[in-house]
Amino acid sequence: MFRTLTSLPSPSSPRSPHRSSALCPNTVRAGIGIAVLLAAVFCPGIARAADYRLVQMIVVPGLALASYDISFVDPDTQLYYFADRSNARVDIFDAKKNLWLGSVGGFKGFTGNNDTSGPDGVVAEGDRVYAGDGDSTLKVIDVESRTIINTVSTGGTKRVDEMALDSQGRRLLVVNNADDPPFMTLISTKPGNAILFGHITVPGATGGLEQPVWNPSTKRFYISVPELNGNAAHSGVAVLDPKTGLVEKVYDVGSCGPAGIALGPNQHLLLGCAQQPSVVINAKTGAIVATIPQVGGSDEVWFNPGDNRYYLAARNNPGGPVLGVVDAATNLWIQNVATAPNSHSVAANPRTNDVFVPLTASPTSPCPAGCIGVFQDFSAHDAD
C-alpha cells in the first residue's frame, strides 16, 4: 500500500496553483480570501465561496502515468477504481484511507492510439468491476480475487470506452466510441453477462459517442453525442430505452460537444462541453436550464450527492487544465482549481467529499511522475 502526503503552497501565495486567478470580470484583486468572498456576493453566476486545495498525492506504483482514462468511486465498498493504461491495469484504492491497494492486469495498455488502448471506461458495484478494453471487449473483474472472470466482445474493432450501470435492472450500457459508426451494447450484469441488445447506433452521430448515465426516475440511459450530422454547431444527448434497445430521441444541445454527463438533482444533467460554457439541461425535456461560462473543455464529469456539487475534469479549459466545481442546487460555478496537463478524469467519495483527480505525468505536474490528486474544500473544514 502506498500513500504520499505533501505540503503544498498556501492558497494565499501568489505562486499557488490552487485557485483561479479570475474571480469575475473587473474584480479588484484584494487578498484572495476577501476577493473570493466578494465574488460570491457580487459576481453574477458564482455560488458561495469555497477553498478547494490539493491536499494529498497518492503514489501509483509502476510506470509514470502518461496514459489513463476513467475513474470511479463505489460509495458502498469505499473503493476507488482507476483505468491505468500506462500500466495496462485497473488500479484499486481505499477511498476512505486514500491508499493504493493493488491492481488487476490483463489489458491492452497504451498502444500508441487511444482508440485501441485499454483499460478505458470503468464502473463498479459491490464485488464486480466492469472495464472496457482496446480490443472491443468488456472485462468483468471479481474484486475479492482481483481476477478477470469474464470477457465479453461487443463485436467492434476499437475500444469499449465509457459505460453506465442500471443497478436495479442489472444491466450495463457500454459505448464503442471509436468505431465507425460508433455504437452501444446493453449487457446483463447477471452471471454470464449476456448481451441484451447489440450494435445500438444513434441517428446522426458523426463524432463518436461519449459518457452515458442512467436515470432511475425516467428509467432511461442518456448518452453524450459530441457532433450531429457532421456539423460542429450541433451536438446532442441521446435518450435510450433499455427495454427496447432503441434510441427514442436526441436532444440538440447546440455547439456544446459534450463528452462527460452527470445526473444531479431536479432531473438536471450537467454536460461537460468541449469548450466554455458548460451546460445543464432538463433530462425530461432537453431544455437548457443553465450555462456555466467559467469552466469548459471537460472530459469526465461527476455529481457528488455528499456535498451536492458537480466536478468537471476540464483538461482543455482556457488558461490551463482545472478541476471545476459547480453548485448542483443552483447550477452556479464555485471554483476552478489547477490540475495537470491532460487531467481528464474525476470521481468523488460522497462519504468524505474527497475529490480524486489523476494528475498526468509531466514536468509541470504537481507530481512529475503522475499520481492521484486528492482535493478537499477547506471552507467546509473551517465551518465545522
Q: At 132, which CATH number?
A: 2.130.10.10
Classify residue 198: in a domain, yes or no: yes
- How many domains does the chain divide into? 1
Range(s) of the domain holding residue 127 = 67-257
**Secondary structure, 3-state, 47-87:** CCCCCEEEEEEECCCCCCCCCCCCEEEECCCCEEEEEECCC
pLDDT of residue 204 exceeding 80: yes
Assign 214 a pLDDT band (cuts: 50, 70, 90): very high
Q: For 257, left (φ over 0), alpha (ψ -120 to 50), or beta?
A: left
pLDDT for residue 26 is more than 50: no
- Per-residue pLDDT, averaged over 103-131, amounts to 97
Is 370 contained in some domain? no
Per-position b or e across 33-65, b if 16+ CB within 10 A of its CB: eebbebbbeebeebbebbbbbbbbbbbbebbbb
Does any domain span residue 122? Answer: yes
List, in order, residues 6 or more apart from 340 with CB less than 8 Å away: 321, 359, 360, 362, 364, 365, 366, 367, 370, 373
Sequence-distant (6+) residues with CB within 8 A of 155 are 136, 185, 198, 199
- pLDDT bucket at 33, cuts 50 / 70 / 90: very low
Q: How far is Cα 228 from Cα 203, in angstroms, rounded to an integer?
A: 8
Q: What is the pLDDT of residues 302-357, one digit of tens each?
A: 999 999 999 999 999 999 999 999 999 999 999 999 999 999 999 999 999 999 99
Mean pLDDT value across the chain: 90
Q: Does 287 fall in a domain?
A: no
Structural domain includes residue 128: yes
Mean pLDDT on 138-147:
98
Residue 87: its pLDDT value, please?
98
Interval 66-100: pLDDT, tens: 999 999 999 999 999 999 999 999 999 999 999 99
1 domain-assigned: no
Q: Give a yes or no: residue 241 inside a domain.
A: yes
- Whether 280 is in a domain gets the answer no
The pLDDT confidence band at residue 380, using thresholds 50, 70 and 90, is confident
